[in-house]
Amino acid sequence: MAKLSKEEAKERIGKLKAEINKIRYHYHVLDESIVPEGVKDSLQHELQELEQEYPEFITPDSPTQRVGGKPLEKFEKVTHETPMLSLNDAFSFEELKAWEERIKKVVGLSKLDYYAELKIDGFAIALVYENGVFVEGSTRGDGRTGENVTQNLKTIESIPLNLKPIEQNTKEKEFYERIKGRVEVRGEVYLSKKEFERINKEQEAKGLPTYANPRNLAAGSIRQLDPRVAAGRKLDTYIYELTTDLGQKTHEDEHKIIKSLGFKTSKDTKYCPNLQCIQEFYDFQGKRREKLPFQIDGMVLIVNDEDLFKRLGVVGKTPRGAIAYKFPPEEVTTKLLDIRVNVGRTGAVTPYAVMEPVKVAGSTVSRATLHNEDEIKRKDIKIGDTVILRKAGDVIPEVVSPIKDLRTGKEKEFKMPKECPICGGPVVRPKGEAVARCLSKDCFAIEKERVIHFVSKDAFDIIGLGEKIVEQLFGAGLVTEPADIFALTEGDLKPLERFAEKSAKNLIDSIQEKKTVTLPRFIYALGIRHVGAQTAQDLADHFGDLNKLEKASVEELQEVEGIGDVAAKSIYEWFRDKKNINLLKKLKEHGVSYEKVRKTHELDGKTFVITGSLESMTREEAEEEIRKRGGKASSSVSKTTDYVVVGENPGSKLQKAEKLGVKTIDEKEFKKILS
């Protein structure tokens, strides 16, 4: 390019600045791109060169001045003209109503209206403009005195370096008249969720500590003496407060003015004539929360009328006329009780955390996958630790980190078991791989079948817990054996595919309903080889109590009617297997039991055989009814059969009954016996 004269350079610099500023404003404040990528950089490069040649034309509001300056020795103190306040919290609609009642009394009014906006999980800042030029940016500090972080704030592109008329029909002269002298706005510096993750990954890679939440990260970026750190992070802002009087009468006005000055304001705001409207807006935003690109931790509501707001005054460090209506926390602490492993479809042995149940993001959680051994090491998680648990909306809960300061010394390190907890087979972690595997092939399938049997119709009969879901629960590490079913919470299920809020609740309800079943069902559910539904009934009848059955010798078992040598041995051995003893113990711990009282067994000793189909119930249901009353349901007719129930299209059993002289009854008679 031909060399410009000084005059020409001055004019070009002015034009470049205006153009870059326009592109910046559209991109960073309005979220729209008006020129292809790279154009702004190239214009900025030209500007930089011209400014180097004519340094006398460099102004503090030049876009080249966003990243500049050397690292500071320390931050200067800034005294806020008016204190930077914080907000009281409300966690329920009741608390909100109580707050409204209190403030209505203070101002002697029966009705108030509000302005509601998102409460962004960021870091509060104050920006001061002198005659339209950004001169000072500061942190809240203790509310009265903060730190001068102008250099860092300048790197944030959504912060204008000078105030310019935004609306097309604004008269420039009037605009500059309005903003003459000092104008101060306040708002929030924040990072997108994406940027938060990116920076944490970067920290990890550098072996540096990660940030627990976006607020800490925003604060950590702004409170850096070297402005290059802030410049390297995509920090953003929302401005929500104008402390200078520019004629605003309501908080709604205030937002409009802030926007017209060129600041980025949130679109997610709402005027609300009452608290009901606030609640609706809160519910709406609560549902969107997960999908928003940045984190919010609630809503801020402010009495809309500025005069009223002032009249309501300040108590301590919080204004009476505003409140933060918080969402359920997405991060809580809980105790890590144990680290167990589950075995997946492919034999992958995955550790997971067993925690003291805790409410997070609105649901109760007690399990979280820990992915693999290395992850546990990297996060330095030990059994017994108090941990930070995070769950954003309906995503899978995650153990973020332990709170090491709370350690007692009794915490235990996790060791990957050498033997598969399910089948006892060898667990091997191939060199260079993150995942350990159980080498025996059928391990997963066998264990899954065990759980499916446990919840099946003749056993615990848990409605809604089919094979697919059992598989899903295994996959998520939530279930490795039958007893785990009873530790499930709604919060565990919601993140899983296909689990809308409703079905999660339904399943948990039906599990809780079945915590107590009849003794025969309980015995059958255990899945002891050679113990079908009828044998389970026989055992229950004979022993009447699980403890007695557990202790029975092979000889004692053989005495039970209908139990042969093979079954007796199998039952005896089942109750002596460590894994099974553990299952019974865990079931007890979860409050799973059987009905202790022996029902009056009106059909005690009576044997039934059903042939053909019944009208009012299935064969399985009929057999269950018989067993419930102490009777026996057999599949073949013999001399000892008491009744053959004859339904539609009876089979050969009817002829056999007639031949043997066994009493036959129809459905009506059968139902009479049952009633």
Q: Which residues are catalytic?
A: 119
How far apart are CB 104 and ligand IVH at their closest, in Å?
19
Q: Where are the beta strands (DSSP E) in 268-369?
A: 269-272, 296-303, 314-315, 318-319, 322-326, 331-343, 348-360, 363-369
189 binds ligand IVH (CB under 6 A): no
100 binds ligand IVH (CB under 6 A): no
Nearer to ligand IVH, 238 or 444 (CB): 238
* Site for ligand IVH, residues 319 to 338, rule: CB under 6 A: 319, 322, 324
Strand bridging mode 182-190 / 398-402:
unpaired
CB under 8 Å to 355, separation ≥6 — which residues?
334, 335, 336, 337, 365, 366, 367, 368, 387, 389, 399
Q: Where are the beta strands (DSSP E) in 519-602?
A: 593-594
The residue from 134, 240, 325, 352 that contacts ligand IVH (CB under 6 A) is 240
Nearer to ligand IVH, 188 or 471 (CB): 188
Query: Alpha-carbon distance 23 to 46, whole Å?
Result: 15
Q: Is 526 exposed, middle or buried (0-12, 13-18, 19+ CB in 10 A)?
A: buried
How far apart are CB 117 and ligand IVH at their closest, in Å?
4
Nearer to ligand IVH, 117 or 623 (CB): 117
211 binds ligand IVH (CB under 6 A): no
Place of tokens 């003459």: 180
The amino acid present at 145, given as its one-letter code, is T
Other beta carbons less than 10 A from residue 649's beta carbon:
9
Number of residues that bind ligand IVH (CB under 6 A): 15
117 binds ligand IVH (CB under 6 A): yes
Nearer to ligand IVH, 31 or 621 (CB): 31
Assess contact for 323 and 86: CB atoms under 8 A: no
In residues, how long is the chain? 675
Nearer to ligand IVH, 119 or 259 (CB): 119
- For the sheet with 182-190, list strands across it: 133-139, 123-130, 182-190, 236-242
Over the window 118 to 147, marking each residue x when it contacts ligand IVH by CB under 6 A and - when it does not, the resulting string is xxx---x-----------------------
Nearer to ligand IVH, 323 or 531 (CB): 323
How far apart are CB 132 and ligand IVH at their closest, in Å?
24
Nearer to ligand IVH, 262 or 319 (CB): 319
Query: Alpha-carbon distance 264 to 260, whole Å?
Result: 9
Angle at 425 between CA 421 and CA 428, to 5 degrees: 95
The residue from 188, 394, 471, 623 that contacts ligand IVH (CB under 6 A) is 188
Nearer to ligand IVH, 322 or 478 (CB): 322
Sign of the Cα pseudo-torsion (400, 404, 407, 409, in order)? positive
CB under 8 Å to 239, separation ≥6 — which residues?
127, 185, 186, 187, 188, 258, 263, 264, 265
How far apart are CB 318 and ligand IVH at their closest, in Å?
7
Query: Alpha-carbon distance 462 to 459, whole Å?
Result: 8
254 binds ligand IVH (CB under 6 A): no
| From 112-120, 145-153, 427-435, 608-616, span contacting ligand IVH (CB under 6 A) | 112-120
241 binds ligand IVH (CB under 6 A): yes
How far apart are CB 269 and ligand IVH at their closest, in Å?
8
CB under 8 Å to 312, separation ≥6 — which residues?
103, 106, 107, 303, 319, 320, 321
* Site for ligand IVH, residues 69 to 88, rule: CB under 6 A: 85-87
* Site for ligand IVH, residues 278 to 317, rule: CB under 6 A: 300
Nearer to ligand IVH, 215 or 514 (CB): 215
| From 12-20, 114-122, 414-422, 596-604, span contacting ligand IVH (CB under 6 A) | 114-122
How far apart are CB 308 and ligand IVH at their closest, in Å?
14
Residue nearest to ligand IVH (CB): 124
560 binds ligand IVH (CB under 6 A): no
Assess contact for 338 and 376: CB atoms under 8 A: no
Per the structure block, which two tokens stand in for 188? Answer: 């929030």
Assess contact for 646 and 665: CB atoms under 8 A: yes
Q: Is 671 exposed, middle or buried (0-12, 13-18, 19+ CB in 10 A)?
A: middle
Binding region for ligand IVH (CB under 6 A): 85-87, 117-120, 124, 188, 240-241, 300, 319, 322, 324
